[in-house]
Amino acid sequence: MVENYAILPCNGLDKCAGVISRELAIRLCENAKNEIICPVYYRVAEAKYNKIAGGHSLLVIDGCQTRCASKLAAEKNLKISQKLTITEEAKNHNIELKSNLRLLENENALIEIILSDLNNAQDQGRRSSVETSSLINFEYETYQNSKFIFRVPKNPEVYFNENDCWACVVGNRARIGVTDFVQQNLSDILYFTPPEIDAEIDQFGEVGEIESSKSVFELISPVSGKVISINETLVQKPELINENPYELGWFAEIGLTDFESDKELLIGFDKYFEIMKTKVEEING
């Protein structure tokens, strides 16, 4: 089992995903070193649960995109070490969740898969540590419209798709993320949902998402390959995407499988810069 975790689960017990979240927390706490933080009782026993959270790594288990557990952690200024969302895990593993509130075959299978994934992530150290350095030194061209200034990397190693996502390609791997245009339009970014390590990604497939108070943005991968690392820092500090979406706010690194083919559907700095300018002018007039 995953050791030494404080586990903050979803409290939505009127939905299947919330019931799974609760059961997963209970199963994790079969290891005596792990402890559950009750999301309901927290409000009347704050000192007790703050102590638990402060003495363990915090695992947040959201049931769905409402993210009630993550929002509670943010409200209490808790440092999240890892989090997952049950509905996303079900989607990733092609498991259909029903509307029932009892754990049946599919629900129990999903719990076993998540437990195994958590064990593997810990035992093999598969999630990346914080990295703030770039694969290359970015050089930027800027475009100003009214009070807004947009930066675009002009390095030849950086490619774009028309979905406002970029890939910095060095050798057989690429670091990917969203452009300055995206982060400025979303405004303050509140959540980052990373892809799974070892996930096979198709070009133009979804590879993580970010959420602000305005909307949710799905990163459409410019390249195909396998996820080899993620920017785990963004789970705790998604605002880094606002600060610098290229050098600090990258999403993941992809081991490339067919970049020569991918490149045919990508664009370079010159074309993307003009596309971005047109989009900005359409929005701001």
At 222-270, the pLDDT tens digits run: 999 999 999 988 988 899 999 999 999 999 999 999 999 999 999 999 9
Average pLDDT, integer, range 107-125 = 76
Average pLDDT, integer, range 12-16 = 88
At 143-201, the pLDDT tens digits run: 999 888 999 999 999 999 999 999 999 888 999 999 999 999 998 999 999 999 889 99
Q: In degrees rounded to 5, what are phi and psi of residue 7?
A: -115, 120
Q: How confident is the model at residue 133, as a pLDDT?
A: 44
Residue 71 has pLDDT above 80, yes or no: yes
Task: Tell me the pTM.
Answer: 0.59
- 140-284 carries CATH number 3.40.50.11740: no
Q: How confident is the model at residue 54, as a pLDDT?
A: 79
Contact between residue 176 and residue 165 where contact means Cβ atoms under 8 Å apart: yes
Domain ranges of the chain: 5-124, 140-284
In single-letter form, the type of residue at position 112 comes to E
Length of the chain: 285
Find, among 115, 83, 94, 111, the residue nearest to 16 by Cα.
111
First-to-last alpha carbon distance for the chain, in angstroms, is: 56
Three-state DSSP at 85 gives strand
pLDDT band at 121 (very low <50, low <70, confident <90, very high): low
